[in-house]
Chain A
């Protein structure tokens, strides 16, 4: 029988070993008091963690709303872009028609595109 590696005690505790290896670990635990003591230390910590996980868990209120609504309502950049649009609309009466419409179109495009650009940059930074 191959000697039991210390890390295999964790694999045994988690039920992640192959059936043959489980039998070998159990046989070793039955005859080796040091290995058994090590296993009990792991098992005690395991119980504590499971208890903590049980305490912490709760059912959250989660909804799969459309993605765009989250971006537009929660993104500060969307609010900033809309403000830019409002400012442009306010100053355009003082400008010529061509310049005014050019500014409005650009500001509208900015209001639509900016939130998505910012969102993409944020996702890149925290990508998987």
Chain B
């Protein structure tokens, strides 16, 4: 059984990606930080029931995903800010145009495709972890991810 201290150690390396992932959904840095905080506490409440044969990262990102969804459902906290308004860091100015094209293309994808792409890239989940986070068989992950990538590539070509 994972104890609180061990939970903290497992969680720490995930926080940076978790914030990026939450930010990609909520489109707001402060809300993303709140979502990560909520998920950290919700995970702590449930850690004693966590089955250690499962992928911890996938399990925890599923909690974070639910926290983000809860925040989006709450009209008091949700902000409909486009991804373009998130200022990219000055250190990577060449990536700005990619960011804008991606932002526009993402809005045209299905929820299912957006979800798996966000978890793959922003959360950097492996196929096993994606299966855990999305509660789907591992064999389905590769085909869903592939179809999401194709759909995105198609939309991005249209956007460009």
Contacts and interface: CB of A to CB of B under 8 A. Distances in A.
Given A57-B17, A64-B8, A126-B70, A7 B146 contact: yes
Interface residues of B, number: 57
Mostly helix, strand, loop or mixed at chain B's interface? helix
Contacts, number: 130
A35 to B, nearest CB: 13
A58 B146 contact: no
Interface of A, secondary structure class, is helix
B142 A52 contact: no
Nearest to B43: A64
Interface residues of A, number: 38
A118 B37 CA distance: 19
B16 interface: yes
A92 interface: no
B98 A51 contact: yes
A62 B36 contact: yes
Contact of A65 (B41, B67, B156): B41
Contacts of A46: 149
B82 interface: no
Contact of B44 (A49, A67, A127): A67
A20 B135 CA distance: 28
Interface of A: 6-11, 14, 16, 41-42, 44-46, 48-65, 67, 70, 122-123, 126-128
